Each structure stands twice: as structure tokens, then as C-alpha cells.
Amino acid sequence: MRVPRPDGVRIGAVVLPEHTWPQAREIWLELEQLGLHHAWSFDHHSWRSLSDEPWYDSLAVLSAVAAVTERIRLGTMVSTPNFRHPVVVAKQVMTIDELSGGRFVFGMGAGAPGADARLLGGEDLSPTQRADRFAEFVGLSDELLRNRATTYRGAYFSAEEARMVPGCVQRPRVPFAIAAAGPRGMRLAARHGQWWVTIGDAGRPGERPEEEAWQLLARQVARLAETCEKTGREFSDIRRLVNVSRIVKSPYSSPEQFVDLVGRCQEIGFTDVVVNHPRPSGVFSGSRPDFLRAASAALSAFES
């Protein structure tokens, strides 16, 4: 299926919630001053090789960021039912939407096996069970954030007169950014999502050879377009976001390289591109000046 090329591309960044507040405040304000369209935080209780390093709660960090920024969109990338309950997180989402003046995007994913999945001591879930739980998580989140009170009984979650007053600033609710790669996830994105998110191969992020990773991204975008067509959703109504830090090593080593990468994403059909903010060492390591130069170049080249 031929996917239409979007007119423009919005550029964003992902900041890990590992910084003290003075450091975090400086980083997030710099991203806004740079002119980025959006910025996101990983939402894990702890994360892979950084599990013994400083790591803060992403929703608390985003609340603080919402209070000191004015323009940039903010979101989770992504919250999961591994350790988040939809009733509790919906109230947090409503609150951040208020603090930000209606700039919050609720990023959601099914959650992978690992530390977060074992955190609360529950049983290991099969891929089918994780997909079932995620469908319930998304559906209940949608109900909670649209209504003043919700009562619900499901296989994984329950709610008893869960109150959401005064409700979201954004109506009918905050936008959902749904991370999905398989058919069920794509249907959820088509039904509930205002954004769709991918990192390519979610099972092996960053491990595929680069050309193979690009081919996978193209297939995923085409699959989303087909899903939208089958479900009656306008494909153009859903923003399509890719994190190129999970596709290409050192994506902003030069402004020219990053501009080329963003252009390739646009050709495939993505409307939004994010890159991880540079860390001094280890995963997502990079040069801050290189990042700033590359992001500035891309913002100029793809201004919509």
C-alpha cells in the first residue's frame, strides 16, 4: 500500500529521568528554547543497564517540567501496565495536563518482560495475555479520561466510581500515543490513538542492521495505513512517530546526517521524529553540541 508523504515533520527529544532537578530543569528548558516541538521521558521503574543508577519517576519529573515550560509538548514514552494502574495514572495524566496548560500526550505501550514486569510480584504473562491486558489498559484509560466517574470490572483492572474532576484541559481527553508493532496493537492505535509510536524492532531495539531496520519501519507504516483503512480511521488523522536513536547509531554525529535521517523518515510516512538526548557515556551517549547543531538544522529544514 502506498503511504502518503507528510508535508512536514516535527522534531522532538527523549530525556531519561536520571537527572537531579537542577540538571533536568536546564535540559528541558534548553529543549524548549531550541524550538523542539515535543519532548518525552521514558516511563520505567528502573531500566536495563541503568537499573543501579539514579532514576526518578517520570510522571513526577514531567509535572515539574510542565510547571516551568510554556510551549513544548510533553509526554511519556511509554507508560505500561507492568506497574501502572490505569485509575491512578489517569489522575496523574489529568493533573499534568492541567499543569502544562493542555500540552501533555499520554504515551502507552504493552510492556515487555523484565524488571518492570516482575516489580509487583505478579505472574509472568504470555504475549497474548500482555496484549489482552494492554487492550484493557487503553480502553479503561480512555473511559476514565473522558468521564467524570467510571466504574469498571475487567480481567486485569477494576474501578469503582473513579472520579476525574475537573477532567482534562484537552477535550475530550489528552491525546494518546500508542506504541504498537503487531496487528492488535495497530488496531488499538487506529481506534484510540492520536499518535502511533515505534522504535522498529521492539524485541531487539537498535540491534538490526540499519538497512533492515529501515525496511521494517516502512512495513510498519504500511501496516498501520492498512489497519486504518480496514477500521474506517483516516490515516492522516494519526501522527506517526519514530525514535531514530533505536534505528541508527550516532544519529546526530553531523547536522547533515540528522537532516538526511529525518528526510528518510518523512519519505516512509512519519510525521514526527525523536532522538534521545545525549548522555555522557553508555547507552545514548553523544555530544551535546552535536545534538544541538543537528536538531537546529532539522528544525530549519523541516519547518511545516
- 158 class by beta-carbon count within 10 Å (0-12 exposed, 13-18 middle, 19+ buried): middle
Tell me, what's the pLDDT at 173?
98
What is the CATH number for 43?
A: 3.20.20.30
Tell me, what's the pLDDT at 1?
65
Q: Which residue has the cell 472520579?
A: 163
CA 291, CA 276: separation in Å to the nearest integer?
9
Q: Is residue 36 part of a domain?
A: yes
Q: Is residue 97 part of a domain?
A: yes
Q: Which residue has the cell 502544562?
A: 100
Q: Is residue 5 part of a domain?
A: no
Tell me, what's the pLDDT at 203?
82
Positions in the chain short of pLDDT 70: 1, 304
Tell me, what's the pLDDT at 5?
80
Tell me, what's the pLDDT at 7?
83
Residues 111 and 185: beta-carbon distance below 8 Å: no
Tell me, what's the pLDDT at 304?
57
Reply yes or no: is the peptide bond before residue 4 cis, omega within 30 of 0: no
Q: Is residue 2 part of a domain?
A: no
* DSSP secondary structure letters along the chain: -PPPPPS--EEEEE--S-S-HHHHHHHHHHHHHHT-SEEEE---SS-GGGTTS----HHHHHHHHHHH-SSSEEEES-B-TTT--HHHHHHHHHHHHHHTTS-EEEEE----SSHHHHTT--PPPPHHHHHHHHHHHHHHHHHHHHSSEEEEE-SS-EEEEEE--S--SSSSSPPEEEE--SHHHHHHHHHH-SEEEE-S-TTSTTTS-HHHHHHHHHHHHHHHHHHHHHHT--GGGSEEEEEGGGTSSSTTSSHHHHHHHHHHHHHHT-SEEEEEPPBSSSTTB--HHHHHHHHHHHHHHT--
pLDDT tens digits for 216-247? Answer: 999 999 999 999 999 999 999 999 999 999 99
User: What sign does the CA torsion over 107, 111, 112, 117 have?
Assistant: positive
Tell me, what's the pLDDT at 4?
77
Cell of 122: 505478579
Tell me, what's the pLDDT at 207?
80
Tell me, what's the pLDDT at 244?
97
Cell of 230: 480496514
Number of domains making up the chain: 1
Q: Which residue has the cell 501522527?
A: 239
Q: Is residue 66 part of a domain?
A: yes
Q: Residue 210: give the domain boundaries.
A: 10-301
Q: Which residues pair with 275 in a beta bridge?
A: 13
Q: Is residue 3 part of a domain?
A: no
